[in-house]
Amino acid sequence: MAGVFTPMLQAIGRHRGVTAALVVDERDGIVVESHLHVGVEEDRVAALAASLYRKARLSSRAAGMGAVSFMQLEAPGGRLCAIGAAELVLIVVAQPSVNVGLVRVEMLRSIARLVEAGGGA
Amino acid sequence: MATSDDIRRMSDELARDPGSRVFVPLGDVLRRQGQYDIALKMALKGLERHPHLVEGHDLLARLYVDRGEFEKGFDEWDMVLRLSPGHLGALKGLGFICYQHERFADAERYLSAAARIDPADAEVASALEHVQAGHLQAARAGETPLPASIAADSRFLFVDVLREDGQTALLLDQQGLVLAGAYFNADGVDVAQNVGAELSGVTDAARRATRHLALGDWSSIVFETEVAVVAMAPAPSDGLLVLATTRETPLGLVRRLLDRCSEHAARWLRGLI
């Protein structure tokens, strides 16, 4: 059954190298909706990535740098990208070869949908 | 000057005994004849068997420099100095590389050390004169790095790498304490310690995420905030490098700056700056 984020997640998931795209509640790391390749552990990705994004957001604010928009973690085995609004976080897991510029643009476009669904900025 | 008989004799010896140290003089002869590729292969193979052979690393450094690979040459001569502190050839070589890259202060430091070891070396004395002249010229052109009092202050470690307004970097130790760099807020107050302490907390979450998701050790984190783009990378000894730039800085450039700051910090930690 298609959810409110299905078209957005499918659009991101179509990018070469993307293995998972999820919308997660930032407070508890619970998955709201996801688009995953086989073998990706949805709950684990959601909890860890949401926790990382939350930590980055809080640290940034405490350091006087304001709210975090886009975040990207790079490791030899892949990339983790996140963008948040209205207590929802859009998380993308991708292979190292992914065109992160394209994925970032797609994720930035999705901000409005997150705000709308989350009920405010 | 080595004759073809000498070369044949050394080649035969190396063929008979691949563990022989004759690869050093033989490689040097081939280098002087411009046969860099063969000499390089020989030196690399020889060093596999004799990884602590000072003259082997010295040969390799010369070969890299002849091939224009200055960075690798620098690293090899750096290795020579670790194995044999005060090695004249390495000091001269490092002075030459720094001079080539217009790092006059560093070049002067290496060549001065070489001159102290061998005051009669006319080549070193002449090179030192050139370097000092170059340094003076750069200073007059307003391109000289920094006065010594500032250069010695670790808060200014990254000023040579980050030349644009709004770019700053911090090097933190494993406890999140600032080792080098500065972060000035809008009031001109250095808040590096606070910023460093807050941001270093992100790395625990990053480590946990990459471990559980089997992504390997994280190599960088970049996040865009309301006022800056922040990039972080692991530093030697479980330290952390934090780079902050303006939001207008392209993300690709942020990545490059992060790499350059990481290299700079690593050299500083090794006492090379």
Choose among A60, A63, A77: nearest Cβ to B194.
Answer: A63
**Does residue B167 sit in the same domain as residue B258?**
yes
ipTM of the complex: 0.88
Give the lowest-confidence range in B10-14, B187-191, B225-229: B187-191
Query: Which domain range does residue B15 map to?
Result: 4-140
Q: H-type helices in B50-185, by residue range?
A: 54-66, 70-83, 88-100, 104-117, 122-140, 148-151
Residue-level pLDDT at B273? 66
**Does residue B23 sit in the same domain as residue B55?**
yes
What mean pLDDT comes out for the span B118-134? 82
Is residue B151 in some structural domain?
no
**pTM exceeds 0.80 for this model:** no
Is residue B149 in some structural domain?
no
Number of domains in chain B: 2
Q: Which residues of A touch B191 (CB under 8 A)?
A: 63-64
Q: What is the CATH number of the domain that holds B56?
A: 1.25.40.10
Is residue B145 in some structural domain?
no
Name, in order, each residue with C-beta under 8 angstroms of A77's C-beta and a sequence gap of 6 or more.
Answer: A96, B210, B213, B214, B215, B216
Q: What is the CATH number of the domain that holds B217?
A: 3.30.450.30
**Does residue B15 sit in the same domain as residue B128?**
yes
Residue-level pLDDT at B146? 46
Q: Which residues of A touch B208 (CB under 8 A)?
A: 48, 51-52
Percent residues over pLDDT 70 in chain A: 96
For the stretch B24-53, what's the b/e string if a residue is b when 16 or more beta carbons lie within 10 angstroms of its beta carbon?
Answer: bebbbbbbeeeebeebbebbeebbeebeeb
pLDDT value at B144 more than 50: no
**Does residue B222 sit in the same domain as residue B264?**
yes
What mean pLDDT comes out for the span A3-22? 90
So what CATH class is A6-118?
Answer: alpha beta
Residue-level pLDDT at B187? 61
What mean pLDDT comes out for the span B125-152? 65
pLDDT value at B143 more than 60: no
pLDDT value at B201 more than 80: no
Interchain pair A77, B210: CB under 8 A:
yes
The domain segmentation of chain A, as residue ranges, is 6-118
Confidence of residue A83 (pLDDT cuts 50, 70, 90): very high
Task: Determine the Cα–Cα distance for residues B128 and B231; give it in Å rounded to an integer.
Answer: 39
Give the lowest-confidence range in A7-11, A70-74, B69-73, B138-142: B138-142
**Does residue B235 sit in the same domain as residue B196?**
yes
Minimal C-alpha gap between B158 and chain A (Å): 20
Joined together, the tokens standing for residue B63 give: 């070969």
Write the pLDDT tens digit of every residue in B20-42.
999 999 999 999 888 889 999 99
Joined together, the tokens standing for residue B32 give: 């002087």
**Does residue B135 sit in the same domain as residue B166?**
no
**Does residue B64 sit in the same domain as residue B112?**
yes
Minimal C-alpha gap between B172 and chain A (Å): 15
Choose among B191, B216, B225: nearest Cβ to A60.
Answer: B225
